[in-house]
Structure 1
Amino acid sequence: MDQNRLSFLALHFIPGIGDHLIRQLVSYCGSAEQVFKTPKGKLLKIPGIGEVTAESIKQGKPFSTAEQELKKAEKENVQIVFFTDKNYPSRLKQINDSPSVLYLKGNMDFENPKTIGIVGTRQATDYGRERVEELVEGLVAHQALVVSGLAYGIDIHAHKHAVKVGLPTIGVMGSGIDVVYPSSHKEIAKKMMDNGGLVTEHSFGTQPDAHHFPARNRIVAGLSDAIIIVEAAQKGGALITADIANSYNKDVFAYPGNVGQSHSEGCNNLIKSNRANLITSVKDLEYVMNWDAAVKPEKKPEVFLLDNYSPNEQLVLKTLLANNKQLVIDELSWKTNVQVSQLASILLELEFKGIVKSLPGKVYKLVKA
């Protein structure tokens, strides 16, 4: 086991040591391994290091925890990347408060020349979901990487549609890499692994506590060339992400919404206060980002044939056809005699195939036939 990498991870398990102090220690001592070999007197001369922290370093207790963490990462096929590594995302290296360690799972390219963060309210409306779909489809010709936070609403819709149209997409988590939150997004998280994946700064088993999410937003902003707010209330995580992106001198865009509607207030205020560019289509993004206008690939008309689907999918489609083309998932489960957990997976596949659409209230609608 690489002693320097083990030492680096051990630093993260010392109470009271954050990303800034870890950088400080490594910079002063020359390497993470050397930090633990440095005499206590010299450690105390490093800015930010007090008696308690210096003593914790000398005791070296976190090494067993770090060793278990590295073994778990290997077993779970998770990559642990430190800020000194060559494959640490270059965009994050440019911000002062970037994480000193990242846990990665999937097949992702952080150096994609066009990387766009899409965030918004958890209470997404049909208007918001339509804007996401239109935007993501516009990004296909640019082969952009889509970054979001795996949350309900706009975030998960951005991930889903990116997977559907074949764009790479990365979900930044506010929990351990093994704790997908919300749990209902596990299926889409699995699908993201082939062309994208999951990223977090938290160790295995970390629960999705509320204070992790504002910190998570800085990673979304840091990884992206531009942040696009689709729908947002007057307060919330999307606006925090916008403020962070502005502080990083990133371009911020917001879709305008109807006056007087709560989910439009945040976007309208960002535009009104010149904290975001107004966006109505991907053309606005291309203009501000100085991208060459992309030519949209021609879509071939699709023919709806039940024979093109698996037996389970056919059962679901036939049931929807017999019930005015839409049903709540519980009723669909009862009518098909398929458990909700299995049904959710089938419906997700049908969403990717563009035959079924999810609506608020766990309603699923047949969109072709």
Structure 2
Amino acid sequence: MNDTELLHLLALLKVDGVGDIVAKKLLNHFTTAENIFKAKANQLESIDGIGRVLIKNLKDKLVFNLAEAELKFIKENDINCLFYQDEKYPDRLKHCIDGPILLFTSGTIDFKNRKVISIVGTREITSYGTEFCKKFIEDLAPLNPIIVSGFAYGVDIVAHKVAMDLGLQTIGVVAHGLNQVYPKVHKKYVAKMEQNGGFMTEFWSNSNPEKENFVKRNRIVAGISEATIVIESAEKGGSLITANLANDYNRDVFAVPGRTSDRFSQGCNNLIKTQKAHLLTSAADLIYILNWELKQDETKVIQKQLFVSLENDEQKIYDYLQKNGKQLLDVIALDCDFPVFRISSILLNMELKGVVRPLPGKLFEAV
């Protein structure tokens, strides 16, 4: 995109009454932002929903003063601008009707041919949540996914740090301009984040981390990824807003269950109870439900990582299938000395963990 068109896009976004949905409607009709500003009143009036007030606002020259100042900041700070019709713009976000027209990014972000998941949760993460988050990302690492979160306290920063330690690309979607860091104590992570992904926002350099901005940025976190994972959440919280947005976008949502007495498991338990999220006990659950295809070497690595999470009965059955190949359910029950009703339950759990595969005719084999 050349500077002239970028300037006009920035100006368009500052026109009173123009949001992302209206801007897309205008761009679909006139092709470029520059053409929109050159359009005559009768041309604009022919578009459904475009009235005289908005047409008058498009004549406001002040929007170009604001746009010029922001363009200067973008150039001086080497900010990348992703237009929603560009090839490098996140593909899944293109399909969200209210996705941002422009995204401002810093770092080394690359979405090409990558699995993308968002991890969200409470800012007051517990030791249980921390350990689950670490193990979950470690088990997914062979698939080289992009880990998206909000760079906030708690679950967000834990997810980013684990991803960076594993050499995974990670993206912090922030609720302010790229001229600042929030929270400030996370400034020490910025350089490494930008080496392993970076930051993304729709907010201009004069935008501060206001409360309403966090709600608005949550739609990017939800829309950008294939699935949203809620690690821990109280009964109310921003992560639940993100989960609801993900559901609205027809994305998969996963939630980590916890004890009913634990405050920061209530939100996750409610998501599962109301069928707004899949129950998540391990990385294998996500791989299974999203139907991610694994290369042979990835499968071996993930199997090895998942062994530690197998119960004794599951390990016994897995070792049996590894040694004997595919077997009938009744034969497995007989040879492993389990009643049939019990073997069915164990095999289902193992299937969810991705370590066995059901075959036609009640046959099972180790993956």
Q: Normalising by structure 2, what TM-score?
A: 0.78
Deviation of the 1:72 alpha carbon: 1.1
In the aligned structure 2, how far is the partner of 1:244 from the partner of 1:111? Answer: 24
2:119·2:147 contact (CA, 8 Å) conserved in 1? yes
Correspondence for 2:98:
97
1:112·1:145 contact (CA, 8 Å) conserved in 2? no
- Aligned residue for 1:252, secondary structure, equals strand
Correspondence for 1:81:
82
1:4·1:32 contact (CA, 8 Å) conserved in 2? yes
Letter in 2 for 1:27: N
Correspondence for 1:240:
241
2:301 is the counterpart of 1:295? yes
Deviation of the 1:114 alpha carbon: 1.1
1:110·1:223 contact (CA, 8 Å) conserved in 2? no
- Write out per-residue CA displacement over residues 145-197 of structure 1, whole angstroms, 9 at most, x where no aligned residue: 00001111001110011111111100001111122211111121221101200
Query: How is 1:175-194 mapped onto 2 (pairs within 5 angstroms)?
Result: 175-194=176-195
Correspondence for 1:229:
230
Query: How is 1:248-263 mapped onto 2 (pairs within 5 angstroms)?
Result: 248-263=249-264
In the aligned structure 2, how far is the partner of 1:284 from the partner of 1:26? Answer: 41
Correspondence for 2:38:
37
1:112·1:144 contact (CA, 8 Å) conserved in 2? no
Where structure 1 has 5 or more consecutive residues not aligned to the other structure, the ranges are 300-369
- Aligned residue for 1:95, secondary structure, equals coil
Letter in 2 for 1:160: K
Deviation of the 1:50 alpha carbon: 2.8
Deviation of the 1:297 alpha carbon: 10
2:281 is the counterpart of 1:280? yes
Runs of 4+ in 1 over 4 A off after TM superposition: 296-299
Query: How is 1:277-356 mapped onto 2 (pairs within 5 angstroms)?
Result: 277-291=278-292, 292=294, 293=299, 295-296=301-302
Deviation of the 1:220 alpha carbon: 0.7
In the aligned structure 2, how far is the partner of 1:117 from the partner of 1:228? Answer: 6
Deviation of the 1:2 alpha carbon: 3.0
Count of paired positions: 299
Where structure 2 has 5 or more consecutive residues not aligned to the other structure, the ranges are 306-367
Identical positions, percent: 44
Deviation of the 1:53 alpha carbon: 2.1
Letter in 1 for 2:301: V
Correspondence for 2:316:
none
Q: Normalising by structure 1, what TM-score?
A: 0.78
Correspondence for 1:107:
108
Deviation of the 1:215 alpha carbon: 1.4
In the aligned structure 1, how far is the partner of 2:300 from the partner of 2:155? Answer: 24
Deviation of the 1:205 alpha carbon: 2.1
Letter in 1 for 2:214: F
- Aligned residue for 1:199, secondary structure, equals strand
Report which of the two has the higher share of helix: 2
Q: CA RMSD in A?
A: 1.7
- Aligned residue for 2:98, secondary structure, equals coil
Greater Rg by CA: 2
Deviation of the 1:127 alpha carbon: 0.5
In the aligned structure 2, how far is the partner of 1:111 from the partner of 1:242? Answer: 25
In the aligned structure 2, how far is the partner of 1:202 from the partner of 1:269? Answer: 32
